[in-house]
Structure 1
């Protein structure tokens, strides 16, 4: 206590400590979100790498790809893995977002255990710039394994899960809820290392030119047929 009274910051005592009234410093490298109003609300001023980030969606296709576009473009010097997306990726739409199809890998599986295994291998390899994993139900033990695997490298790791999962515990240091709003998204701060924020943050998102014709941010009309775990380059 005497150290704090002598103007020693909590971070100087231990990296995992911070004042409840302030955002914590990031203990990993962060990637700019590309949205200044959002970056100001995140510890480290961006998306943390080498850790689990929980994005809790009211439903898939409400703008999550446009939200992540700037960070994914920055990470596209290495492969970007799309694991269990709710619909087949469309190369034309992804290219319109600035994501080269040649840098994208699409993974799908008939069994959730296989998908979890694939995610863990991608994270432990450290060879990919980003992993986007869509999952409906994940046990806490599996989340902890993925969080530990993410710490093996500096991969951007986003779990896309239903909004109802916000009620469950998660090892993710950053958890955001995403709800559609006119002209953008309402971003809720379910968990962050810093002061609690009750009011959601409205984040305007510019529609893409191909949004009307390509399924980038739109739910699939039917589930994708699974054919076992296999990597596919988006063509």
Structure 2
């Protein structure tokens, strides 16, 4: 067999050719957005690893982007760690996330928040963990990444867009920018070739959700309700 015919993953699961997306080595959770899934190794959000969502400011639609994955459920509740605003029950229900499935975790200090994230990951008691962090040292990120690898938890960190310039052990890093009907997504890092073009992902209200707008409601009403899922941290 020629060297060019060798499949990288057959040598070791961690290997892949730079010209192609790596195959998912572990469990993935569907994103709910076919265009995005097609650009991710394994075709979805990787479980048991660190995923970086890099935003210009919190509340641009990160929870609505994650809604299909979080609503799919898992073994345990969804932990919201250090959200920038107090969760709004009607807002979360509106985007299809029942409040009874949410676990709010607040910490006074960054060190306490990092410790809480590590304990949640190591305990494996939550199906997903979304952690809003303004700053985290590289050593802290590595520690959390290792903790995530020992779990079956979907682990998402929402961090400032400026952090895209820093190195990270995250297997997947996406930069999000708001658009008129959703988000523009740049793939900063993935196991595979660089992404040449940004993705446009529309974020629409969830059909059949607990909080439904009437037919006479305007688009502005929809945007207002959706933005309140975390009192402004949608």
Task: Give a deviation string over 1:24-67, Cα, whole Å, max 9, x none.
Answer: 01111000000000000000000000000000001111111110
Alignment partner of 1:169 is 2:186: no
Change (3 A) 1:192 1:87: same
- Tell me how far apart the structure 2 counterparts of residues 98 and 23 of structure 1 sit (CA, whole Å): 31
State the TM-score, normalized to the length of structure 2. Answer: 0.88
Task: Give a deviation string over 1:139-181, Cα, whole Å, max 9, x none.
Answer: 0000000000001111000000000000000000100000011
Provide the residue aligned with 2:219 in structure 1: none
Deviant stretches of 4+, over 4 Å: 207-211
State the TM-score, normalized to the length of structure 1. Answer: 0.88
Provide the residue aligned with 1:203 in structure 2: 201
Change (3 A) 1:3 1:152: farther
Provide the residue aligned with 1:34 in structure 2: 32
1:8 Cα offset (Å) = 2.1
Q: RMSD of the TM alignment (CA)?
A: 1.6
Provide the residue aligned with 1:215 in structure 2: 228
- Tell me how far apart the structure 2 counterparts of residues 131 and 202 of structure 1 sit (CA, whole Å): 25
- Tell me how far apart the structure 2 counterparts of residues 171 and 3 of structure 1 sit (CA, whole Å): 33
1:77 Cα offset (Å) = 5.5
Q: Is the 8 A contact 2:141 2:169 kept in 1?
A: yes
Provide the residue aligned with 1:45 in structure 2: 43
Provide the residue aligned with 2:21 in structure 1: 23
The structure that is strand-richer by fraction is 1
**Residue 65 of structure 1: SS of its match in structure 2?**
helix
- Equivalent pairs counted in the alignment come to 218
Q: Is the 8 A contact 2:85 2:230 kept in 1?
A: no
**Residue 224 of structure 2: SS of its match in structure 1?**
coil
- Structure 2, unmatched stretches of 5+, are 207-212, 214-221
1:217 Cα offset (Å) = 6.3
